[in-house]
Amino acid sequence: MAEIKEIIENFKIKANEHVKKHAFPSFDEVNKNIVQVLEKSVHNRETLFVMYSEFGPTTYLGMKAIYENLTNEEYIRNIGKSLNEQGGFTTMHSVYYLICNFTPISNFEFKKWWLSNLNETWDGIGTWIGK
């Protein structure tokens, strides 16, 4: 059990170091990257359009807050609740997809661990099933 706690603490340290090294992109940068992917996309275009349609100042701020607080599960859960109140599962899923693909988290060496943790943190919010 102590080994697992040590591994988790190591992940958290790495996550915090990653955030310090890689600033969150501006709204315009994220928007530009999304548009570029949409223009080049041949597959999953419908999914991308749905995700992009949810992108705006509110979801951007949610994405940024999540990224800047990667290890604060209570804070991230509260953001999930706010996103759910704003637009339900679609908004939550869009933020999840966008933060995974259009922010510095996409280059994080422990991305899979963090995404799994985000899924579990949001479990039970609205219709989100993360376990």
Residue 129 included in any domain: no
Domain range for 84 is: 2-122
Considering the entire predicted model, what is its pTM?
A: 0.83
Q: How far is CA 59 from CA 1, 6, 7, 27, 37, in A?
A: 37, 33, 31, 10, 18
Q: How many structural domains is the chain composed of?
A: 1
Residue 43 included in any domain: yes
Residue 78 included in any domain: yes
* DSSP assignments along the chain, one per residue: -HHHHHHHHHHHHHHHHHHHHSPPPPHHHHHHHHHHHHHH--SSHHHHHHHHHT-SHHHHHHHHHHHHTTT-HHHHHHHHHHHHHHHHHHHHHHHHHHHHHSSGGGG-TTHHHHHHHHHHHHTTSTT----
pLDDT in tens, the chain (131 residues): 678 788 778 888 888 888 899 899 999 999 998 888 888 776 777 777 777 788 889 889 999 999 899 889 999 999 999 999 999 998 998 898 888 888 887 777 777 778 888 889 999 999 999 87
Residue 53 included in any domain: yes
Residue 130 included in any domain: no
Residue 9 included in any domain: yes
Residue 127 included in any domain: no
